[in-house]
Structure 1
């Protein structure tokens, strides 16, 4: 009799366990002006004009900062281009730039410290004023300023290791996704630029004159509203009308915390004292049809009421 013996076979399944290590980044934000004619396309980060100028700028800045700070420097990022007007119709380009450092690498090196803000600014200033520098853009040296101190953010570096484990299939639990919708409320705001000349191109939203002025108003006024209201979302210029120039814009807020007309108008009136790129007549500010005065008291005057006041004034004078 022949006996057959079977040897049990053991199957081992190897899976990959992924270990994620988190590195902290320190970000310093600079602002500076370059003598490059601003065009409306530079307001759009997706445009060819934006991306071409951004690459030209960051490629040189990366070389400058890597030579200075070595492995502690990661990269520079252009956040936005903004028009800076030399006159009513001509604008240079302001650059908002982030300089990113590896805070984790600095912290783990006993001989390293985070570069000081003034050193980061001066490094760029020295490079643009050095005639032997590779910097080929006309930066205005005294325009380089720090607008935000190092701010910690997080990115992840993934290290993969393989560990033998027995594969167990567990049915996935149902996943519930919650979507939170942040609704916005838009408020109409209008003001007059007294003494400025209205041109026909300002009636067409696709014209360069319209886009340049709209971009100017947006970039100048948004910081005031963002500083005043945590619920502020955005500002959009809608149209321009003759007389001298009447500017109409929509200001959007989170619907859960919309300021009243008096508060919204008061921000614009106060901004008039600090803005020189265009004129804001403080007595012309209206919010949702309400006239907001410099004292902050809002009133609504209808056409019928105004007509009655004129008639009454004529009767009294006669």
Structure 2
């Protein structure tokens, strides 16, 4: 999928299908899709499984909170339509794409419904502004929000012709030239003199229409802002006319022979582009500083003690992680707790490569051998609240054993 924000969005207009009003027309429903950093499970294909219900409950809680806050009484409810494995090529990991119905009051006129962009932006902005793109414990992928289906019409109604009846001495919003069968909007017709005034002037001799000119019915001449070529029977408002091809090249050129209008600029209304936002994954990293004294002011992120210790950890550890992992995007000390001092940090990595728990712990192991500003207990490493010190301890044991063998060999050679 795709954010206010990160991919081309194609809206599909449909009647709302999951709404269940008791009377009247069906409730308007926007189908809003987004990618969440949750491993896709086959149980998510069945809405009767507990896996489906648990994840749906968490996501619906986020949608309900955001859309009720944004649209008040217009918003009715949200509900999960389906889960599927994400096919977004830029996220090379097993994640889940969810499609959610956002239902509005069935009595709301279409003109009072929010626009597609407003519905999309409500969720996209909340993800971008949240801490680590996580809202109420749901880790969303930034830039992945898109409107999949919408109750709004995708294009305004159009007509191919204008039928206007003009009575003598009447004023109409459309003037018709019976010679060329062309229609000129916003003009006045006088049936007595057979001339057209304001915005468009008609010369009955040459049968041409000149925008922004005045017509003198006595002399049949046309004045200011346009030049008329009686040979080619065309009118050019502030432009050049090619008498060979009978075409006019201004902001809009009209060919009286083919009755077609060529706009000066071609616009592709279906293409919408948004800037690319890099997907990231956050790992919570914890270790203990054994033997150091915890003070209550470390609980307050605004205190000098908190800021000083956070800066100390960041200055010592962040360069080590940056040198080891080029995909590190952010290093933040989030909190401290008692026992002696437990240090909690968030490390944000590009989703293109996220190191394993063991790889992260190995960097802390190297830091424990070199950092002197604070203690790092090598048996206390947690990544996303999962103990990883056992794997690292195994590595320590191997290193220790090799060191002892090498030391023994050196001592034997000196004797």
TM range (shorter): 0.3 to 0.5
Higher Cα Rg: structure 1 or 2?
2
- Which structure has more relative contact order (CA 8 Å, sep 6+)? It is 1
Structure number with the higher helix fraction is 1
After TM superposition, the score normalised by the length of structure 1 is: 0.38
